Structure 1
Amino acid sequence: MNVETIEANFRCDRVPTADQAARHRTILSEAKSLAITIEGLCPDSREKSLAMTKLEEAAMWASAAIARSEGGDEL
């Protein structure tokens, strides 16, 4: 990993556009829906905990793809 990649990955001045914010909300809403389904259908277990963690990670990385790949307005 080079310094430019590190700088890009740890920027804190990203402000999402209206379209990006809407897509972030859609991702979180869909992930929440699946989390509720998993909670209702799966017994408490290590596997269920891992599924929830991976779902949170997937939503986070999907949002990062929007933020990092498309940028946004600068502060």
Structure 2
Amino acid sequence: MSYDLDLENRFTYHPPQPGQAERYEQIRAGGLALAQLLAELCPPSPELSRAITHVDEAVMNANAANARHDRPED
């Protein structure tokens, strides 16, 4: 079984397309809001730290999805 690792796409610079910067900001703002909520509602702990790290990773992956796969139609 083979798996396409999509290496060229992963390691290529993707300049922002029209409208993407605004989406990046919305995604980051949503991630920040969730991280702040978790920090307010959860006691300091390794689990809280991991939860916030996962929010950070989710924001990065969502923005990468936009950068790598949202291209203008040719």
In which range does the TM-score fall when normalised by the shorter chain?
A: 0.7 to 0.9
Could you state the TM-score of these two structures normalised by the residue count of structure 1?
0.83
Count of paired positions: 71
Deviating beyond 4 angstroms after TM superposition, the runs of 4 or more aligned structure 1 residues are 1-4
- 1:14-70 per-residue CA deviation (whole Å, 9 max, x = no partner) reads 211231110010000000011111111110111101100100000010001100101
Query: Tell me, which stretches of 5 or more residues in structure 1 are unaligned?
Result: none
Structure with the higher fraction of residues in helix conformation: 1
Unaligned runs of 5+ in 2: none
> By percentage of residues, which structure has more strand?
1
User: What is the 5 A alignment of 1:52-67?
Assistant: 52-67=52-67
Taking every aligned residue pair, what percent have the same amino acid on both sides? 35
TM-score (norm. length: structure 2)? 0.84
Q: Higher relative CO (CA 8 A, sep ≥ 6), structure 1 or 2?
A: 1
